[in-house]
Amino acid sequence: MAIGPRQRKRLRRRAQQLLDDELERIRSVGPAGVREMAVHSPLDAAREDLTVTARVDDEGERLLVLVEIWSGRRIFATGGFAMLPDGSTHTPH
């Protein structure tokens, strides 16, 4: 189903908010919780007409987190960070 410019703009705004919320939620669970997410990665969750996918790669000392917000074959927002054992995070620019 094709979507028009208004709906696409609305989806992008909603996707950005979902992305920000999901990244904050993942940060808040801390290193042990994020490491547990890596075992089950990727994790998908439906949010009405969008899907939130969180991927966590355990690279030993650091955990790499990538979140994508998508619908169909279109990705509307993506972001991520690296988490260190002390819970601090670094977001690449």
**What is the length of the chain?**
93
How many Å apart are CA 93 and CA 91, to the nearest integer? Answer: 6
Q: What is the pLDDT of residues 37-65, one digit of tens each?
A: 999 999 999 998 899 999 999 998 999 99
In three-state secondary structure terms, 59 is strand
pTM of the model: 0.89
Q: What is the pLDDT of residues 61-75, one digit of tens each?
A: 999 999 999 998 999
Q: What is the pLDDT of residues 15-27, one digit of tens each?
A: 999 999 999 999 9
The H-assigned helical ranges of the chain are 5-28, 30-39
